[in-house]
Amino acid sequence: MKKDFKFYFAQFSSKCVYGLIKFVKLFKKSLNGSHYPGKIALKFDKDFLGKIEKPEKIICVTGTNGKTTTANMIIDALEKNGFEVLNNKLGSNIQAGIACALSTGATITGKTKYDIAVFEVDERSSIKVYPYIEPTIILCTNLFRDSMKRNAHPEFILDIINQGLEGNTTTKFVLNADDLISCQIAPENKNKVYFGMDALLTDTTECHNIVNDFANCPKCGSKLRYNYLKYHHIGNAFCPNCDFESPEAKYLGTNFDFNKMKYSMIETLKDGKKQTEYNLITDSVVNIYNQIATTACLKEFGLSDIEIKKAFDDYKLVESRYKEEDYNGLTIKTMLAKGQNAVACSRVFDYIKTDSGNKAVMLNLDDFYDAKTSSENICWLYDTDYELLNDPSIKQICIAGKRRMDHYMRCLIAGIPKEKITVCEYEEEEPALLNFNKIDKVFVLYDVYTIPMAMKVKEGIKEQVDIILEKLEKNHVKISGNNDKDLTSEETKK
């Protein structure tokens, strides 16, 4: 598409708005105008994305779960290796967010200042983005059912992505071999590589989750079987009655050593296989998939094993999504559990269940904070595996917020004993209700919109720990070391 007067006016306006926002931000730091310049550009020229000059290489990251984490990892890895990367990390992942990044990353006449861009792309925006941008690589982490009011069914989303990719023959796709839904992206395009994860000891061959969005063979309709299944429909599948099976992973994560935090990547080459050892940045299977996806994408981009290894040295996941802290012998883990997204919540519940020690869970998943657009539909609670929280190692569940009774009801249906559940109106009340006698760890769960609240709850827990320690000192109880269980001593019983 050629630049015309409409385009120049749009780019000029977008730049002016960007400058204005930057200026106002000097005085009002909390101003949120993250994709407004892009919105203006698109208002004046709806074909803005097609006309603006783009970096030579563009990586787009999409998928239901893990796209932000994965896009951030790719950006960090490239930057660690000296590349300057244009991205929409601070903006939004819809069309306006990408327009904003391209506009601010270009001159006033629309000439790009970057060679490389990494964009996180919302699945539903595919249809408004890909017809204008043919990325070098599209990485899809997975496709699951998501918030009912936005994304509903994964096949509906798959269809939207494929409509956006109609006629695309140049992009290379990096897809998840263990997710047969996203494997169906761009069926006409043969330029695809797959990544996957080898069997783990915790895998099964039957789905134990409420939701399985890919249970039957798309060719003959038979019930699929699994060589190994990690969760929901994620695993290595085959049809017992025809030749349908999971594609072979060119990049396969294997030999996971959670003590040394290492794993190996088996890469299939033209003339054999190669195995490379990498640092493991997390013990959560969901994030290991994100790490494997990142590695596969970077390899396809052209980074060497050494460059990728360097990227994962001392890598820390973004703290707003997960943080672990030890406070006087009590482990506090704050974790993002996206409300209205049954699969993301179930994954977090599974992580809590399988984590070691005795635990308490602060279940603060009140989607009411998504104020203007919040849905009254709570069916997602019944797609979420609350049953995973019905485990002997989970000693207490605290529920707060406007939807607390809905969560309480769901916990009871999951068979969680009434006496383990504490319900209160406000999240800030939870720390004082914790029974520290029984626990080594507290999980504070929160939604995308409730991060400040989660931090307040965490501070409240620390205050309670301090109060207990003070009481212990007064009672002349000897406190020694960080990991002894003085917090569980009889004297502290409330």
Chain positions contacting Zn ion, by CB under 5 A: 217, 219-220, 222, 239, 241-242, 244
> Cα–Cα distances in Å, from 268 out to 137, 138, 251, 303, 306?
19, 20, 7, 16, 18
DSSP sequence for 332-394: EEEEE--TT-HHHHHHHHHHHHHSSS-EEEEE---GGGSGGG--S--GGGGTS-GGGG--TTE
Q: Which of 295, 437, 250, 424 is nearest to 358 (CA)?
A: 437
Angle at 324 between CA 321 and CA 330, to 5 degrees: 145
CA–CA distance, 101 with 120 (Å, rounded to integer) = 11
Q: Which is nearer to Zn ion, 242 or 405 (CB)?
A: 242
Cβ atoms 69, 287 nearer than 8 A: yes
Which is closer to Zn ion, CB of 20 or CB of 242? 242
Structure tokens at 33: 């105008």
User: Identity (one letter) of the amino acid at 102?
Assistant: L
CB-nearer residue toward Zn ion: 242 or 261:
242
Bridge partners, 330 (sequence order)? 327
The encoded tokens of residue 6 equal 């409409």
- Smallest distance, Zn ion to C-beta of residue 223, A: 9
Question: Residue 116: helix, strand or coil by DSSP?
Answer: strand
CB of 243 to Zn ion, least distance (A): 8
Q: 422 CB contacts (<8 Å, ≥6 apart)?
A: 396, 397, 398, 399, 430, 433
Q: Least distance from C-beta 224 to Zn ion, angstroms?
A: 8
Q: What angle do CA 151, 180, 447 make, to 5 degrees?
A: 40
Q: State which residue, 152 or 220, has the beta carbon closest to Zn ion.
A: 220
Measured from the CB atom, is 140 or 183 closer to Zn ion? 183
Cβ distance to Zn ion smaller for residue 248 or 466: 248
Cα distances from 95 to residues 124, 126, 349, 472, in angstroms, run: 10, 8, 33, 57
Query: CA 285 to CA 116: how far, in whole Å?
Result: 29
- Cα–Cα distance, 86 to 91 (Å, whole number): 12
For residue 222, the minimal CB distance to Zn ion (Å) is 5
Q: Which residues contact 304 (CB under 8 A, 6 or more apart)?
A: none
Shortest distance (Å) from residue 218 CB to Zn ion: 8
Cβ of residue 219: shortest distance to Zn ion, in angstroms?
4
Q: Which is nearer to Zn ion, 220 or 261 (CB)?
A: 220
Report residue 278 as tokens: 């990498």
Q: In whole angstroms, how close is the CB of 240 to Zn ion at the nearest point?
A: 8
Residue 136: both structure tokens together = 């070098």
Q: Please give the structure tokens belonging to residue 69.
A: 């984490």
Give me the least distance between CB of 75 and Zn ion, in Å please: 40
Cβ closest to Zn ion, residue 219 vs residue 471 = 219
Give least dist CB 208 to Zn ion, A. Answer: 23
**Shorter beta-carbon distance to Zn ion: residue 220 or 413:** 220
Distance CA 481, CA 387 (A): 36
Cβ distance to Zn ion smaller for residue 220 or 405: 220
Question: Is the Cβ of residue 43 or residue 219 nearer to Zn ion in the bound state?
Answer: 219
- The nearer residue to Zn ion, 219 or 438, going by C-beta atoms, is 219
**Min. distance of Cβ 246 from Zn ion in angstroms?**
13
- Residue length of the chain: 494
Output the smallest distance, CB 216 to Zn ion, in A.
Answer: 8
Give me the phi and psi of 418, to 5 degrees please.
-50, -40
Largest CA distance in the chain: 80
Containing H/E element for 271? none
- The DSSP annotation for 125-193 comes to GHHHHTTT---SEEEE-------TTTT--HHHHHHHHHHHTTT--S-EEEEETT-TTGGGSSTT---EE
To Zn ion, the closest distance from the beta carbon of 155 in angstroms equals 17
